[in-house]
Amino acid sequence: MSTTQPIKSVKQLEQFKKYYQEVSPDSRNYALIILGLNTALRISDILRLHIADVWDFRQHCFNRHIEITERKTGKNTSIYINQEVRQALSACHLTSLDPGDALFPSHKYKGSPLSRYQAYRIIKKAAVYAGLPEHISCHSLRKTFGYHAWKQSVPPAMLMDIYNHSSYQITKRYLGIDQDDKDQVFEKIRL
């Protein structure tokens, strides 16, 4: 059985993000990918988001955090909305929509959010363009966040908390650490 992988290569990650921004422009699809990469949320939680979850209509600005109860764990979580997510969502013209509208609406079924399968197809299309291996899926966005955070020295205990994992072993699997990653550590450490 194949395991979903994070996108490890920075070059491929840039190509992946570029697909819906430059090659086949689609602000909704681009925002979906950017939000997924920058929040570490599961796709089931992303697809349940409404515009009011990210935009404050009274203050006319982005919320500071996405506040949700995770579908899988039932735990409350607060996710900071960083500049990359704000920029990607800005292109979606949220202020002209209703606060209760799906953040990532289906083009086919008015009033409904994207389906999980459609989100998968969106991600796969960008992955193929970027030359990524076949083991890329919706969950790759979540895993990519953790992998690159870990590579930037975010402590695994912090990632475990962000992911709401119950054990370090689960977080370790998410990071997709392989022999090349271990070799880089040995290469860098020169005592």
| Residue 8: C-alpha distances to residues 3, 11, 22, 136, 175 (Å) | 14, 9, 21, 11, 10
Whether 3 is in a domain gets the answer no
Number of residues that make up the chain: 191
pLDDT, mean over the chain: 93
Whether 1 is in a domain gets the answer no
- Number of domains the chain contains: 1
Residue 111: which CATH number?
Answer: 1.10.443.10
How buried is residue 185: exposed, middle or buried, by Cβ count under 10 Å (0-12/13-18/19+)? exposed
Q: Is the pLDDT of residue 1 over 50?
A: no
Q: Is the pLDDT of residue 2 over 80?
A: no
- pLDDT digits over 137-147, tens only? 999 999 999 99
Domain that includes residue 38, residue range: 10-188
Whether 64 is in a domain gets the answer yes
- pLDDT digits over 60-83, tens only? 999 999 999 999 989 999 999 999
Whether 93 is in a domain gets the answer yes
Whether 5 is in a domain gets the answer no
Active site residues: 42, 72, 139, 142, 165, 174
